[in-house]
Structure 1
Amino acid sequence: MSITWVIVIAVLTLLAGVALGFFIARKYMMNYLKKNPPINEQMLRTLMMQMGQKPSQKKINQMMRAMNDQQQQKK
């Protein structure tokens, strides 16, 4: 009878650890994305200027739309 209690406690501890780990990782990622947001138009414009390109609004909109479409496909 004592072996069954050990197994039950081990399984419950494992499940609690998985659940706790999930919520901690989720909170960490939410904070990370809040501090380091995904790329926006200003970042894209700066990146293009550093690469030696003169960014037009049309080109920036096109690249933002392409990145958003790519993110939607991943989901």
Structure 2
Amino acid sequence: MIILVGVLALVVGLVGGFFIARGTMKSYLAKNPPISEDMMKSMMMSMGQKPSQKKLNQMMAQMKNQTQKAQKK
């Protein structure tokens, strides 16, 4: 009986920990996107494009929309 309670507590802890960690990572990535404007600018410059602020804003807004759509699924 004691072993059964221990195994049950372990399973509940693992499942609960997984969902808590998943929610924490989602909120962290929503607040701190993995690609910043500076990174985008340097990437575009390395590809031979001269990025304007308007183009950077458009790309960042597009990335934000894609992450929001992915979160809704």
Same fold, judged at TM 0.5 (above): yes
Structure 1 unaligned residues grouped into runs of 5+: none
Q: Corresponding residue for 2:38?
A: 42
| In 1: Cα distance, 2:10 partner to 2:70 partner | 33
CA RMSD, aligned part only?
A: 2.9
Q: Which residues in structure 2 correspond to 1:1-75 (within 5 Å)?
A: 5=1, 6-20=3-17, 25=21, 38-75=34-71
The TM-score normalised by the length of structure 2 is 0.65
Number of positions where the alignment pairs a residue of Structure 1 with one of Structure 2:
66
Query: How far 1:44 moved relative to its partner?
Result: 0.4
| In 2: Cα distance, 1:20 partner to 1:69 partner | 29
The TM-score normalised by the length of structure 1 is 0.64
Which structure would you say has the larger Rg?
A: 1
Deviations 1:12-40 (CA, angstroms, capped at 9, x unpaired): 332234334555x55xx59xx6xx96111
Q: Which runs of 4+ in 1 moved over 3 A?
A: 6-9, 17-23
Identity %: 48
